[in-house]
Structure 1
Amino acid sequence: MKAHFGRIAVAVLCLAGVAIAAPAAEAGTGAITGIGGKCLDVPAGTNGTRVQLWSCTGGTAQQWTVRSDGTITAASGTCLDVAGGSRADGAAVQVYDCNGTGAQQWRPQNSTLVNTASGKCLDATGVSSADGTQLQQWTCTGGTNQRWTLPGGTTVPANGFCPDGPFGPPLPSEHLTAANIRDGYNFLEGPTWDKATQSLLLTNMHDGTGEDNVEPSDILRYTPATGTFTTVIPDAGSNGLALSRDGKSVLAATHDQRTVSAYDLATGQRTTVAAGYQGRRFNSPNDLTQGPDGTVYFTDPDFQRADRPDEMGGKTSVFRVRDGVVSLIDDTIREPNGIELSPDGTTLYVGGNATGRIYRYPVNADGSTGPRADFASLGGTDGGTVDCAGNVYQVTYGDGNVHVYSPSGQSLGTISAGPNATNAAFGGPDGKTLYITSGTPSGGGDSGDFALYSIQLNVPGWPY
């Protein structure tokens, strides 16, 4: 969070429409195994052929590709499909020509494969592992007949980036203090951990410039092994960051263009994820997170709108974008800021910076959200993160603290950093290092003094 006030706004052109969202991860090609170690098997690739369990043979009938668009394809090129698009328990699971419908969309969740249209789990009938056991969809129970292992021996992740639990208490003590890694930056925000390179990406924002007083920013990389900070994406225009689920790009709330963007980590190429809502520019997207199905959720306060005109009618909102379509979640929160998903992707948390509340929303199988409820009372909320046990870490700007809550909303303790904390993310080789951005904002001329802090905790957590 960072606010600026100043000069008279000048007109800009309205940017309408959106581009496609960043893709979810691709698991590769091979066998999918379930109860009793049996393989998903399809005797033929023709439309309507039932999928079954069978002893693993390594044959083409047992070769499946888990794709980034949510589909699972057989060697024949047909898609894993719920017959007739049914949402009923017991509906047959078959193969069918790929058609892009919800009947062919599958989401890894809690070690299961959930059909996103029905919200039901891929299920071996009769809790059987016998050869020839047919597959169906059924209400998710967590039973062994609904647990699957993806190609290459990777268990369908229960919590995305998280290892299996159980987990103990997250904090070594009730009140902790993080250590300063390096200071001297103007305004740090949006840390996100890049596991592939064992490094932390974060935004350094500068004072506003130009006719509209818009704040330029760079994406930095901190590498703990060497202690070095480097600039990896100059002039990124970013605030909050989130690593994509496939680890190939970094999603960014980009206030420079009043958009949500994705930067390819290999090339630095920028792609627009969301450019506006109903033909109007956003205020200044601030923080964001991505669900297991690729849905991106983000907040749109007006802190970095600068001197550009308001196209949102005075509203500050929470949005989601999926398959290139931007949908409104809530436009009644004044200055929504930090936004986080529970590890299983079923609860969305939003901090109301100007309302003194943290809110939660249930997330449906299709990525939409249910009715809002209060989660905790906390003023001045900024960024935040979650750990693998579902505990919520909410940063408050005014006191430089990270407030930790259990999934039920019980206060577990605080972690203090610099005077004005902005965001937090987990990282490190074991995922248990909490990184915090905090410091003193600029009084002009890029005179801010922000630092990156860290502290080792007991439970691994989310990398943004």
Structure 2
Amino acid sequence: MAWCLRPDQLSWGPIVLARRLLAVAVIFTAVGAVTTLPAAATSSARQPAGRTALAWPPMCVDISNNRGNGTLMYQWQCDSNNTNQRFVIDNGLIKVEDTIGKSQVMCLDSSNGRTNGTRVYQWQCLGNANQLWVVQRGAIILKSTLNSGNPLCLDVTNGRGNSTQVYLWQCGSTNTNQKFVINNGQIAVKDTLS
């Protein structure tokens, strides 16, 4: 339906004009009410008192489906049935659970990098310094840097979405990118948990 007027239609009397304007106002009000209803019923409106809705789902450390040396560590939406997210901490080594008992057990590894931005990946467990970790107050710290004056922690710096890479970064006690919860084999990013 077109909303244009011809010049001969502009000579309405005050009563006709008022009725037509009222009809248009009713239509716009109804359309506005319908389009704003979903916004009023958002999930944050239904949260229990004292809680806020999270902007992202729970996220966990994940290694994709590849069990080869050099596979990068990422963050991915937590799934308790996903073997890519299951780890065992054993004498400082963080082992990929489904490789335990196989010919090549895989561990979290930081290569030989000791700087911010060093990528973390999986590598055959050798017990080297780049595979030894310490968990303290929710931070996962590369053990060889613990007393260096510049300790390095696992970090998910670039957001909370799937495929965000896990790096080493200088530990900061208030840095939420470096706080994890280890539960039932999963390493979850703490600030994504409700």
TM-score range (shorter-chain normalised) is 0.3 to 0.5
Query: Is the helix fraction higher in 1 or 2?
Result: 2
Larger RCO: Structure 1 or Structure 2 (Cα < 8 Å, ≥ 6 residues apart)? 2
Query: Is the strand fraction higher in 1 or 2?
Result: 1
Give the TM-score normalised by structure 2.
0.44
Give the TM-score normalised by structure 1.
0.19
